[in-house]
Chains A and B, each alone.
Chain A
Amino acid sequence: MNILISAVGGQGAVLASRILGKMAQNSGLDVKVSEVHGMSQRGGSVVTYVRFGEKIHSPIIEKGTADIILAFEMLEGARYVEWLKPGGTLITSSQRIDPMPVITGAAEYPEDLEERFQALPIHYKIIDALTFAKEAGNQKTVNVVLIGALAAITNIEEEKWRTAIKEAVQEKLVGINLKAFELGYENSKSMKTNRKNNEI
């Protein structure tokens, strides 16, 4: 399984990839996670890769072979869509964060991203993760809301995800994060989608 996480630096992509890594480890699978640190974390475009299965060699995902993209922001979902294999799934937060070239007026934020996703040979789901994160009690839990949405379309037991979240987040934040997971999981069904029965 190849899962690419794309986000804006500071949104919690590294923690999300660690939760996925823990989940895979607890499932007894070989796993590799590749993270981004340093300069790109300052509000830049960040991408992390999570791969698990029988035996994993490379920590990075080859273009055209991702099963799932988990995007924390619409533009960041679009940016990496070529990493998906045909028939792969894009789960993206509906959040919009303007990059600096848009803020300065040097570029425009494409307004028709959803229509563009529709035209591709992929499954996609859009979820208002920020609203659910706030509902969970902390807007920083966008990452775990999205993990909930991801969990809902996989056939991995729900409990394994919960255990991984408990292991990966600070003890005092476990409650809020489990709630965020719950909200993402439950609302996954009501997400906007262009395909039914997104079982993978």
Chain B
Amino acid sequence: MKNILLGNEAVARGAFEYGVTVASAYPGTPSTEITENIKKYESINTEWSPNEKVALEVGIGASIAGARTIVSMKHVGLNVAADALMSISYPGVNAGLLLAVADDPSQHSSQNEQDTRYFGMAAKVPILEPSDSQECKDFVGIGLEISETFDTPVILRLNTRISHSQSMVELLDQVPFQLKEYDKNPNKYIVAPAVAKKRRVVAEERLRKLEALAETTELNTVEYQSRDIGIITNGIAYQYSKEVLPEASYLKLGLSYPLPRKKITEFIRNCKTVYVIEELEPIIEEKIKSWGLSVIGKDVIPVIGELNQEIVRAAVLKERIDGVTSELTKDIPVRPPVLCPGCHHRGVFYVLNKLKLHVSGDIGCYTLAAFAPLSSMDTSICMGASIGMAFGFEKARGKEFSKKTVAVIGDSTFVHSGITGLIDVVYNQGNTTVIILDNSTTAMTGHQDHPGTGCTIRGEKSQAVDFVALAKAIGIKRIQTVDAHDITELERIVIEETQAEEPSVIITKRPCVLLKNSSLIRKPLSIKECKGCKACMKIGCPAISFSRSRAEIKKELCVGCELCTRICKFDAIKKEA
């Protein structure tokens, strides 16, 4: 039976069909739906982990204990899990261990566009790159087999267009997979130098064997047609190229690391002009050039951003398609993402803006508060960084500066990697004020549970992390909890805690308005007799607009959170009758 599946759904289906019984992940766009779909398969023990490093550690343990395992994350998640990946490379695996890692070229939802292939190369582990949903599913099976045959973790490299595109997939029955024996083998899995030095040699030999595999595997396919143009390509770039250059010859690298030198050399000799069309970094191109062979790559294909048909057409054919060109689009205002009507964060950042504090921010929906009109975040670097960075501000500029500074971090991000930063503040006698924006979910990636919500991925009740007790245990003495929309109380607390000469934690509570069980959605509001003072415009609510000297509330967008009623000095905003 065939069905149309999202790339991520197909990866999940592959995990099911090929006998995966353990799956772990931390959500991250564009990888999240892999695990959201895996949870539907009863045969797979699935979890949201606190972060990607723990997810991979769970995966490594499961593999050594005999279960086929998949661990999923976005590209920057692999930075967090890198220690585990680098360290498990030499020991290798027991049952198949697959890391599904989704890159985000063009940075649709990411802070950078790092190329995951560098990690595969650094760890000396093979990389598979599907080019559609069918291959997403198939490559999970092939990847697990390679993992077991070659005693190595395997990276399945996805990207936004692979993960978030749907295409047809042939569904098969589940292949029963027997749990392997627990591999009690300290001479393999204790990475003390005496063992690891020996495994270092094994890892190098493994790479030679994988190079031999690359020459023969059906993952690397050659399609000879016109030999005037030869294209060496991988992943989604294959699809863009095929559409623009249907007559060319192709070497499609489904196994993009290590590369098949002989196969590539022969292909280049058989074609007149050879292009390497790869998204992001010139990894294939540079390797080929290091062999003294001549190909055209990043001279004509950009290194920045996603590729598409237009780019390939311009690069190879020097052509462009004439569509509807118009002056029309020139003055179209941009539409950046915004905090939703009713959002937890709006009240908090309204207060921070009002108090003109230095705000060390973090990663989540609340990063959007950096932009006008809330304009109340100075930095956002990586997951969990807000707390350590705020403490860094203090180290550099002293306690008085710290009194004008707060760190803000979401509940999921705090669990992910904020806790150690908070320990540092206490241990090293800091003054830092930390605001945990607790909206009871991982909102940005589409509302996943996490250890702070008290619910597992399958909705089972679990022990919720008690942020107050945790902060106390770390040694924080000043802890206050407040409704995120009670802006008067919040303002008082923020002033009090930033002035205090010891570290403090403020927990702002209010569930994300988009949560299915949210009780916050009420009747929309409307404005009567507006004085036109524009105070309500400062909260940047998409439901409020201003025209002809008065503010208006769009009924179809308003969720009735009443935050604006607390801003309006004239009491002009009322519930709809």
Contacts and interface: CB of A to CB of B under 8 A. Distances in A.
A25 B4 contact: yes
Contacts of B109: 37-40
Contact of B326 (A65, A81, A104, A105): A81
Contacts, number: 195
Contacts of A117: 328
B108 A62 contact: no
B332 A78 contact: yes
B400 to A, nearest CB: 32
A120 B340 contact: no
Nearest to A86: B324
Interface in A1-45: 8-10, 18, 21-22, 25, 30-45
Interface stretch (A94-102, A153-161, A180-188, A192-200): A94-102
A173 interface: no
B308 interface: yes
A99 B239 CA distance: 34
Nearest to A121: B324
A188 B48 CA distance: 46
A116 B542 CA distance: 26
A75 to B, nearest CB: 6
A83 interface: yes
B379 interface: no
Contacts of B167: 31-33, 56, 59
A32 B328 contact: no
Interface string B159-177: 0010011111000000000
Interface in B204-262: 236, 239-240, 242-243
Of A33, A60, A83, most B-chain CB atoms within 10 Å: A60
A18 B166 contact: yes
Interface stretch (B270-278, B367-375, B451-459): B367-375
A100 B336 contact: yes
A146 B3 CA distance: 25
A40 B540 contact: no
Given A36-B108, A40-B109, A58-B239, A108 B333 contact: yes
Range, interface on chain B = 35 or more
Interface in A46-88: 56-60, 62-65, 75-76, 78-79, 81-86, 88
Number of chain A interface residues as a range: 35 or more
B102 to A, nearest CB: 11
Interface string B503-544: 000000000000000000000000000000000010010101
Contacts of A99: 333-336
Contacts of B309: 58, 60, 62
Interface string A113-128: 0001101111000000
Contact of A79 (B168, B324, B329): B329
Interface in A99-154: 99-110, 116-117, 119-122, 130, 139
Contacts of B557: 97
Contact of B323 (A30, A33, A86, A110): A86
A56 to B, nearest CB: 8
**Does more than half of chain B's interface fall in helix, strand or loop, or is it mixed?**
loop
B32 A22 contact: no
A83 B29 contact: no
Nearest to A60: B308
B120 to A, nearest CB: 24
A181 to B, nearest CB: 20
A107 B310 CA distance: 30
B474 to A, nearest CB: 31
Contact of A103 (B108, B166, B329, B542): B542
Given A32-B166, A97-B542, A104-B372, A62 B310 contact: yes
B299 interface: no
B13 to A, nearest CB: 16
A43 B108 CA distance: 14
Contact of A82 (B325, B333, B556): B325
Contact of B108 (A40, A42, A82, A102): A40
A109 to B, nearest CB: 7
A21 B4 contact: yes
A84 B324 contact: yes
A170 B242 CA distance: 37
B335 A63 contact: no
A145 to B, nearest CB: 14
B168 A110 contact: no
A37 B32 contact: yes
Interface-centre pick from B325, B365, B444 (highest chain A CB count, 10 A): B325
Interface in B281-338: 308-310, 313, 320-326, 328-329, 331-338
B30 interface: yes
A110 B338 CA distance: 20
A65 B545 contact: no
B410 to A, nearest CB: 14
Contacts of A9: 337
Contacts of B398: none
Nearest to A43: B338
Contacts of A86: 322-324
A81 B330 CA distance: 11
Interface in B446-490: 446
A16 to B, nearest CB: 13
A109 B333 contact: yes
A63 B321 contact: yes
A100 B335 contact: yes
Given A58-B239, A104-B537, A42 B337 contact: yes
Contact of B556 (A57, A64, A130): A130
A39 B29 contact: yes
Given A42-B340, A62-B308, A30 B168 contact: yes
Nearest to A101: B333
Contact of A76 (B236, B320, B335, B336): B335
B546 A105 contact: yes
B484 to A, nearest CB: 17
A31 B4 contact: yes
A9 B328 CA distance: 22
B23 to A, nearest CB: 19
Interface of B: 2-4, 6, 29-30, 32-33, 108-109, 132, 161, 164-168, 236, 239-240, 242-243, 308-310, 313, 320-326, 328-329, 331-340, 365, 368, 371-373, 444-446, 537, 540, 542, 544-546, 554, 556-557
Interface of A: 8-10, 18, 21-22, 25, 30-45, 56-60, 62-65, 75-76, 78-79, 81-86, 88, 97-110, 116-117, 119-122, 130, 139
17 contacts: A25-B4, A38-B109, A43-B340, A57-B240, A58-B308, A62-B313, A64-B323, A78-B329, A79-B335, A82-B323, A82-B324, A85-B323, A86-B322, A98-B545, A103-B545, A107-B333, A121-B324
Given A37-B446, A82-B329, A120-B326, 16 more contacts: A9-B337, A32-B132, A35-B166, A36-B108, A38-B109, A41-B337, A43-B339, A56-B167, A59-B161, A59-B166, A75-B332, A81-B329, A82-B323, A103-B542, A103-B544, A105-B546
